[in-house]
Every structure is written in C-alpha cells, then in structure tokens.
A and B are shown apart, each in its own frame.
Chain A
Amino acid sequence: MDVDDLVLFERSLAHATGSHTGPALDAALDDLGWDEALPDDRRAAVSTLFELQGAACATSSALDRVMIHALGVSAEARAAVLPRLGRWGPPGAADRGGAVHGLATAGFSDHDVAVVVAPAGEKAVAATVATADLTLRPVHGIDPWLGLVEVTGAPKHTEIGPADWQAVAMVAQLALGHELVGASRTMLELARKHALERVQFGQPISSFQAVRHRLADALVAIETAAAALDAAWLDGSAQSAAMGKALAGRGARIAARHCQQVLAGIGFTTEHDLHRFVRRILVLDELFGSARSLTRDLGECLLVSRRLPPLLPL
C-alpha cells in the first residue's frame, strides 16, 4: 500500500474498531475488505487493525483469519483453535486425531468447522474439526468482555495438509503484540489526560516529577515494544516475533502499573475505562506465549547455542 492508501485504510479501520466490537466488528471488517488486504500487504493489514483493536478494547475474529491465512491451506473454515494459556505450540495433540486443548476467540461457536493444527514429528499438520464435536466453555475470567472460549475434546479430524505452525505462531505473536501496544497507548492516554486535569496541592498532578516519570517510563516501555515489533516484521524471523510479543507483554504490564497508579482512585473503579484495558492486557499477554514464558524459553535456547540471534542489518 502507498502512503495515501495506508492513511485511508487506517482511517476506515479506526472508524470500524471505534464503533463496533465482536460480530459487528467482523461484519464491518468484511465490508471494508480487510481480508483482501491480508495477502496484499500483510504487515499493514495486521499491524494497523490489531493496534486499533487494542486501543479500542474491541474484539473480533481477525486473529483466526490471520492464522488461517498464514497456514496457507485452502480451508473454508474461518475459525481456528489457539494454543492454551501461556503456550505457543499447536493446540492439537501429538497423535493425529487426538485430543484438542486450546482457546478460541469470541464467536467460535457460531462456526460449524474450525481449523486445528497438531504436531506431527518435527512438523505439524492442519485439520478441520466440527465445532459441535468440541466441548466449549465460555470464559468469564478476568476479562469477560474478551469473550474467550476454552476448547477441549477429541473430535474427528479431517486432515487438510501439512502446516507451517511456526509461520502461524509468528504472525499471531506479531498481531497480539500490536494489540498489546494499542491497549497500552490508550492506558497511557487515559492517565495522561487525568494527570493534566486532576488538581492537588493547587496544581495539576502532571506537574509532579514522580507522576511525570511514571508516564515517561510507560511511554518508553510502549515505544520499546513498538520498535521491536517493527523490526520483527522486517527481519521475518520466528525468534524476533517472539521477542516482539514478549516485549509488548512486558511493556503493557509496565504501562498498566504506572497508569493505574497515576489514575489512582478513579482508575480503580468500573466508572472509568482503565480496568478494561488492565484486564485485557493480562489475557493478551498469555496468548501465544507470555512475556515470562517466551523470555525464559529464549534464554534457554541462547544458553544452549551460546550465540545471539543474528543482527537486524542497518
């Protein structure tokens, strides 16, 4: 996409994510032809939508579509099973046609079939399953608005071919990383506005260095994650995508902590929007690997190889 197209694309997506969520947002994305942008310019399609979706605390089944697109299999299915909490491996069991244990985005049960990827030796294989054959538990949890579904069962698999799970995990991690960055930016904006308006000791609390430095640290954490995600798109490696996701998860937790402290009493109530974002980032951090688990895994790999990942060239 050229610059003008991008501006237009972003504007329409901002309108869609700002005014719709859930099935209505899916419908709006269909109207906009967001799906068609995926093969065209995947980076722009994914980074723009997910950052906006995170910023608006909206939900959609875009993650399913991103995963299915990355699989590169021609499946009619428009839903996909995600790994279970904190994990990034395929949600199917090692033996084909075995058990499935994972999570799914809101609206999963509206679909008749879903894609499940299972490990097969060193590789992975994709299959479709009937959602009716699965046990679905709507997750209330810490973020009921996310509408996550826990998926278990041992459904009949219809194999559709070998799957490049690493490619799926990579783009899903980038998408979730952008969503975390978007949510973090909104938290920072909420805290920033509050700091400018809230007066104590005869002046806005934004004039106090303790408050200013917390918000500065939140911005640094967000920009750190954003820079890593941009670089991960450029170098296209699985390790970089995982680093981007981990930095976005950690950055969101840093932003949440500082913004919650600055928003203080009002931010602790349900009368203010902050709590939705605090809830959201805690769950998003756990999808496709949390900051903690991905970081530890990276460290373990490096201590075996004793070599750093190759440098992103200038």
Chain B
Amino acid sequence: MDLDQFRVELDAWLDEHAQELAHEHPGLATFDEQMAHLSLVKRLAYDAGWMRWGWPERVGGLGGSTLFRAYLGEALTSRDLVEPGIYSMTEVLVPTVIDYAAPALAATMVPRQLRGDETWCQGFSEPGTGSNLASLSCRATRAGDGWRVTGQKVWTSLAQYAQRCVLLTRTGTPESAHRGITALFVDMDAPGITVRPIQTMHGAPEFCEVFFDDVPVPFDRTLGEEGQGWSVAMDLLPFERSTALWHRAAYLHRRLERLLETAPAESLDPARVGEVTQLLYAFRARSRATQHRLAGGGRLGPETSIDKVLLASAEQAVFDLVEEGLTAEVTINDDPASERWRSEFLYSRAATIYGGSAEIQRNIIARRLLGLGTDR
C-alpha cells in the first residue's frame, strides 16, 4: 500500500459508506452526540482496516507509513465526520502507550482505543501545575502490590468518557521536580476516582477535574520506569503538535471555505481574506513537512513548537475573520448553524492556551531553537 493507493481507496470507501458515517445530528451536536459519533466512525474505519494503517502490527495495526494516519484524519475532518479536537487524543496518547507500556498491555489496549471502544484521557495539568509541568504534585506511593495515587488533575479533556488515563504522578520528593515523576496507565473505573466535568466558554463540557483518593494502580501499569515520567511527557508533547495539527489544518481549511461561501458580499476585507488564506497555507505547508519527517523516522522535538504557534495564529485568524464576515451569526443569531459558528469562534480563543500556551512555545523556541540559554 502506498499513499496514493491509500488515498484513492479510502476516498472511495468514504463515498460508498457516506450514509452510515454521516452525523445523525447535523448542525451543532451535543458533546455526548459528538463523542458517540466519533466512536461510531472509528469503529467503522477500524473494522474496514483504515484505522489500523500506519500503526505497528504488534498493537493490532497493519503497519505502513504514518502518513496514512495523517491522511485518514484529514479525510475524516474534511468531510465533517469527526471533530479534530476529540479525534486528536488517538494521535497524542497511542504513540506514548506503544513506546512506554509493557508490550502485552499495549497489544491489548491500543486496538480498543483505535476502534473507538475506549476513550483515553491525559492527566497532566493540576490546579497548581499549568505551564510549569515539572511542579506537579499528584502523588503515587508504593503500597505492597501496587501504586496508590492521591491528588487532583484539572483541564483533563474527555475524562468523563474515558476508560483509561495516561497520568503523571509525583513519586520522588516534592522538590525532585522533573526527576521525580512517574507516568501511569490508569483504569478510570478504579475505586477512588471522581470526575467532575467543567462547562467551557464554547458550550461543551470538554474537560474535567479528576480527583484521586488512594486509587490502586498495579505496578505493571507503569509507563516506562519509575522516575522516567518526564521523558514520557517530553516524548508525548510533540505528538500534540504534529499529526493532530495536520488534521486541524484540514478543519480550518473547510471552515474558511465555508465562510467564503456564506459571508455576504462586502462583509469581508480582501486584504484580511488574503492574509488569513496565506497564513493557513503556510501552516499546512509547515505541518506537511513535519508529517514527512515523522514518516521518514525522524524524532519530533522542539521544532514542533513552531507548528503549534502557527496553528494558534491561523486558527484565531480564521475565526476572527468569521466574526467579521458573519457577525450576526456569531453574536446574536440562534439557529443551529450560527450556534456552531459561535461555538467554534469561542473555542478558537483557546488555541493560544491549550497544548502548551503561546508563551511556553516561545520559551521553547528561544531556548531550544535559538540557543538563548535559560531565562531568568
């Protein structure tokens, strides 16, 4: 299978199964409906093989280039079959579990995630730990047969739907910073876990507070070695800024095109339309190069921070333009299409915050790409 063949065959399959794959709730679906639909699309795509391409055979994949994954997400997003934000957890968490979980565990769990039978979440941020990830304090202690976890996470996307969590815990002393962190793969139905969804500004309970009260986690659920959690996290973060962003570019392209189709004459400034289109083109060009580097066996690193800065600029530029061209839709209209534009506009405000804030990305660029040393 090469990329061209994959593209042609997948497109044909998507055309053929358009009805089964289509949203039951067109317009703005509720978050529950979006999640249910994501599982449906993943299951159909997995059972037909598409969702398995680009993943290693040892975890139920069919092997082949990671570009297949990039194209699959692009095709699903372009056809409005999945929302790229909730789809992205696959691209962010599965590579980490493949690299760091015990082989048998990865082989059992990964197919469930890819098939949409399970949702996974990422327990990184805490009330006192946002940009300064190494300061986290959710504690795991050894208790005979396994870890006991006590603490709190917050901004945990999809935790209320999740069966598993890739969780960062403090196993060293409170002062051990990045050295004393251990990553665990936790069952969300373990006793002692409480999940409280948080209503966001854009109208979806996308993330949650998660409380851990003496939660038992077997030792064989440790990702990597004890104390290696920082490496796990550092290897995971570039995945937030690679294939998932390629999918997001396809989504932004579709929405900008929709804006051009629907915005009233004279409502858009040509100079702004030109600038936003160029920015989106450049973001896609940058992300494309990242996909090819990844497919060529390259290791992703701090250069993906440029991709993230570009995504945030492009996403906010697209939706600033939406607000200019479809002002009534975003501000006062209450039909489903308007509600969707409004929700997406509001969500775009988070693009400079989630997945490492705009400031953190610039810190990484300054230190790692420009060699400016540490900041004061």
Q: Which residues of A contact B (CB under 8 A)?
A: 188, 192, 195-196, 203-204, 206-209, 212-213, 215-217, 219-220, 223-225, 227-228, 230-231, 240, 243, 246-247, 292, 294-300, 302-303, 306-309, 311-314
Contact = CB atoms under 8 A, between A and B. Distances in A.
Contacts of B281: 228, 231, 240, 243, 309, 312
Contact of A314 (B3, B273, B278): B3
Contact of A297 (B71, B274, B282): B274
B274 A228 contact: no
B318 to A, nearest CB: 11
B373 A299 contact: no
A217 B282 contact: no
Contacts of B273: 298-299, 302-303
Nearest to B257: A308
B370 A246 contact: no
B260 A299 contact: no
B335 interface: no
Nearest to A222: B306
A226 to B, nearest CB: 9
Interface of B: 3, 7, 67, 70-71, 74, 246, 250, 253, 256-257, 260-261, 268-275, 277-279, 281-286, 288-289, 291, 306, 309-310, 359, 361-363, 365-367, 369-376
Given A216-B362, A220-B365, A299-B273, A228 B370 contact: no
B309 A212 contact: no
Contact of A296 (B253, B256, B271): B271
Contacts of B7: 313-314
Contacts of B261: 306
Contacts of A223: 286, 306
20 contacts: A192-B371, A192-B372, A207-B373, A209-B363, A213-B366, A216-B363, A223-B286, A224-B279, A224-B282, A224-B286, A231-B281, A294-B274, A302-B270, A302-B274, A306-B261, A308-B253, A308-B256, A309-B277, A311-B284, A314-B71
Select the residue from A219, A297, A300 with max chain B CB neighbours within 10 A. Answer: A219
Contacts of A216: 309, 361-363, 365-366, 369-370
Chief secondary structure at chain B's binding surface? helix
Contacts of B375: 207-209, 212
Contact of B269 (A203, A299, A307, A311): A299
Contact of A225 (B250, B282, B309): B282
Nearest to B310: A224
B265 to A, nearest CB: 8
A230 B278 CA distance: 14
Given A295-B271, A308-B256, 19 more contacts: A207-B374, A209-B375, A212-B366, A212-B375, A216-B370, A220-B365, A224-B286, A224-B310, A230-B285, A231-B284, A243-B277, A292-B271, A298-B274, A298-B277, A299-B275, A303-B260, A303-B268, A307-B257, A314-B7
